[in-house]
Amino acid sequence: MKQSSLGLSNTVKRTRKREFLDAMELVVPWAELVALIEPYAPDSGRRGQQPFAVQTLLRIHFMQQWFKLSDPAMEEALHDVPAFRDFAGLSHWDEHIPSESSILRFRHLLERHKLAEQILATVNALLQAKGLQLKAGTVVDATLIAAPTSTKNEGKARDPEMHQSKKGNQWYFGMKAHIGVDADSGLVHTVRGTAGNVSDVVEANSLLHGQETDAFGDAGYQGVDKRPDAKQTTRWHVAMRPGLRRALDKDKPLDDLIEQLERTKARIRAKVEHPFRVLKQQFGYVKVRYRGLKKNTAQIVTLFALSNLWMVRHKLLAMGQVRAPGA
């Protein structure tokens, strides 16, 4: 699929964007994802403008997630950035470029058929088949994603599906991304999007895949094992409340053992921070792009699927399961 534009890829500097795209070119399971989406794609035999190939639009959609590009900005970038055109398989500068409307329609197709969740499932099935994702334990956590607070829009109102919440002494307006990750690898297997005021513990049990024997959460998940939706087959290991932990006397043998146990649980829980770091630092996702939970949740699910691939890219290449650069 990947082609060069007038030989430019052989002459331009190896920028960070190009290096990043080269890595993702090798680890994304393109054939499986295209096969997943193609049954829902428009019929190529229809009259009028012919639709672009699913793989081209999927590559463009992924670049939007990686580089924080809106639909109009993505169209402009395809005209301006040779690396983006190469990655999309648009090999000649006189070749027709998907318009922002085409890019928008493809995103709506993914949303309409709930394909973001299936993309995550497809990626995880691949990683599990390669032994990179286990199912013995799950770590859960949530992060706040900011939404625009301005009312200077057509409706003169903030997004009604977002909500403000308080963390520490700071108020935030937006949504929450709740995730369940593999306790061994730190790879995301379940994603839920809610308004920002939904308590973490409410979503906790919905983040389990059902096959784990142990689950881990911070102090905000106290009482999760007593909720009506708790799974009897899963043991919860929840952090002690900070005030109680500070009151421990390390000189007492029992308190010292409790402190060691809390440190062990904290090391396991640390795995859940890695996907959040990739989203916010690597992909630059710090604010919702759309109005409404449905659209934003679909984007977040796609981002976590891509973060899984990014986090294990070196292992995938070392396994020899993907072709090496230049092969």
Cα–Cα distance measured from residue 33 to residue 23, given in angstroms and rounded to the nearest whole number: 17
- For residues 226-236, average pLDDT: 94
pLDDT at 1 exceeding the cut of 70: no
- For residues 61-78, average pLDDT: 96
Cα–Cα distance measured from residue 293 to residue 175, given in angstroms and rounded to the nearest whole number: 8
Strand 214-217 and strand 235-238: the pairing is parallel
What pLDDT is recorded for position 96? 87
- For residues 75-95, average pLDDT: 87
pLDDT at 322 exceeding the cut of 70: no
Residue 156: count of CB within 10 angstroms of its CB: 7
Residues written for the chain: 327
Cα–Cα distance measured from residue 179 to residue 300, given in angstroms and rounded to the nearest whole number: 10
Mean pLDDT of the chain: 90
Q: Would you say 20 and 67 are in contact if contact means Cβ atoms under 8 Å apart? A: no
| Residue with more model confidence, 65 or 91 | 65
pLDDT at 6 exceeding the cut of 50: no
Cα–Cα distance measured from residue 216 to residue 160, given in angstroms and rounded to the nearest whole number: 32
pLDDT at 7 exceeding the cut of 90: no
pLDDT at 14 exceeding the cut of 80: no
Task: Write the CA distances from 192 to 25, 81, 116, 273, integer angstroms.
Answer: 27, 34, 12, 16
pLDDT band at residue 155 under the 50/70/90 scheme: confident
Cα–Cα distance measured from residue 144 to residue 174, given in angstroms and rounded to the nearest whole number: 7
| Residue with more model confidence, 165 or 156 | 165
pLDDT at 3 exceeding the cut of 60: no
pTM score above 0.85: yes
What pLDDT is recorded for position 12? 55
Residue-wise pLDDT tens digits, 283-306:
999 999 999 999 999 999 999 999
| Residue with more model confidence, 15 or 273 | 273
Task: Write the CA distances from 277 to 28, 47, 93, 318, integer angstroms.
Answer: 20, 45, 36, 23
What pLDDT is recorded for position 160? 92
pLDDT band at residue 327 under the 50/70/90 scheme: very low
What pLDDT is recorded for position 63? 98
Q: What are phi and psi of 145, to 5 degrees?
A: -115, 120
pLDDT band at residue 10 under the 50/70/90 scheme: low
Residue 16: count of CB within 10 angstroms of its CB: 9
- For residues 149-155, average pLDDT: 77
- For residues 127-147, average pLDDT: 92
What pLDDT is recorded for position 93? 61
What pLDDT is recorded for position 324? 40
- On the CB side of 33, CA atoms within 13 Å amount to 26
- For residues 67-92, average pLDDT: 92
| Residue with more model confidence, 157 or 107 | 107
Strand 163-167 and strand 170-182: the pairing is antiparallel
- For residues 226-252, average pLDDT: 94
Residue-wise pLDDT tens digits, 177-215:
999 999 999 999 999 999 999 999 999 999 999 999 999
pLDDT at 113 exceeding the cut of 60: yes
Q: Would you say 142 and 165 are in contact if contact means Cβ atoms under 8 Å apart? A: no
